[in-house]
Amino acid sequence: MDRGSKFHARVGCGAAPELRVENLSVRFADRGKSFTALDIHALEAAPGARLALTGPSGCGKSTLLYVLAGLIRPANGAVRWGGEDIFAMGESARDAWRRRNVGFVFQDFELLPELPALENVLVPATFARFSIGAELRARARSLLDQFGVPARAGPAGFLSRGERQRVALARALLFDPPVLLADEPTASLDAASGAIVIDALARRAREDGRTVIAATHDFALIERMGSRLALEHGRAAAPAEAAP
């Protein structure tokens, strides 16, 4: 796989930071009553870890991913990436941190259906810069290539579901972020597309030393992750265990 190291240097990404979550609790309001959606005493992930979040629907997997990305502020506790508590930062600093460190993949892809695949991949490039250089375009193209997405110019809305998720994956990896968060990335894919996505996630951690955390029900994906955290009602059902 071609991920030039000069690229990392330019966007300021280094090796994956270590994750440490302490006494985390997230509270939501439901019809005026507040309840605890997430209550995690401790969670750690070494740089390059592959962690699967599992558990029944509604157990708090997505919520945990959003907290790890700094999108939901916990009621208590700290989320430290590389020793730094991301909720101690100001909002714009956290935005900048997220932009530099986190890639995100959703169950339903969340592409801009009106834009072609290539432009979808390039969207994150417009967050911090005015013009998209040729180098970045070339990288976007090679990522699409790598994931076997045909280089069609039509709107991404016309791609198959599998193709759309691979475009979303390319988008998440445009800046080669040290941390990749994926929320049930294979749940709405056929087996073949799912395999491509799983392979990309697994190899990313194993070969490139990036941290991958994926919420999933997909055994094919769980198998390829190094460890697993099973959640139940927002709590760890069992201590994180190493996958077979």
> Residue 62 interacts with Mg ion (CB under 5 A)?
yes
Residue 18's CB is within 10 A of a number of other CB atoms, namely 16
d(CA 154, CA 14): 35
CB of 110 to other proteins, least distance (A): 4
Tokens encoding 16: 């994956």
CB of 175 to other proteins, least distance (A): 8
> Residue 185 interacts with ligand ADP (CB under 6 A)?
no
Task: Name which of Mg ion, other proteins, ligand ADP, none residue 51 binds, using a CB cut-off of 5 to 8 Å depending on partner kind.
Answer: none
Nearer to Mg ion, 149 or 181 (CB): 181
Torsional class of 165: left (φ above 0), alpha (ψ -120 to 50), beta (otherwise): alpha
Residues forming contacts to other proteins in the complex (CB under 8 A) are: 62-63, 66, 69, 71-72, 91-92, 95-96, 98-100, 102-104, 106, 110, 112-115, 119, 122-124, 126-131, 171-172
CA 153 to each of CA 82, 105, 116, 141, 143: distance values in angstroms, whole numbers, following the listed order: 40, 22, 5, 12, 16
Q: Total binding residues for ligand ADP by CB under 6 A? A: 10
For ligand ADP, the binding residue among 5, 6, 33, 57 (CB under 6 A) is 57
Side chain identity at residue 202, one-letter code:
A
> Residue 31 interacts with ligand ADP (CB under 6 A)?
no
